[in-house]
Amino acid sequence: MLASVARTAPSSTYRALAASAIVHALLVALIWVGEFYFDISILPSRVWLVLAWLWLIWPVVLFFHPDRSPLRVFVPCLVGLVLLAPCLSTVWPFTAWAIGGIAP
C-alpha cells in the first residue's frame, strides 16, 4: 500500500533536461541584460529573438518525458519564466520588427 504512494526519483536525463531549460532561460536573460544595460553586443538581435522563442519548446519536452510529474514540469518552467520575465517586454516588439519590419 505504501509503495503505491512513494514516487520514484527523476532520471538523470530528466534532471539534465530541466537544468537545460533553466540554463537556456538564464542565457537569454544574460544576453538581454548585456545588450540593453551594458551595451555589449554578443548576438544579433534576430538570433537572440529566435533563441528567446525557442525556450517555449522546453515545457513541451518536459511535459512529454516519461519521468514527468506536475511538480517536475512546473518548477523548471516557473524558474525559467521568472528568469525570462524582464525580457518579455522586449520580445514582443522585436518580434513585430523582425516579422513586419515595424521599428520597435
Q: Provide the residue range defining the domain that includes 66.
A: 12-100
Residues 6+ apart with CB under 8 A from 3: none
Domain assignment present for 43: yes
Tens digit of pLDDT for each residue in 23-81?
Answer: 999 999 999 999 888 888 888 888 889 999 999 999 999 999 888 888 889 999 999 99
Counted domains in the chain: 1
Domain assignment present for 1: no
Domain assignment present for 94: yes
Dihedral over alpha carbons 92, 19, 27, 70 (to 10 degrees)? 10
Domain assignment present for 89: yes
pTM: 0.82
Q: How confident is the model at residue 1 (pLDDT cuts 50, 70, 90)?
A: very low
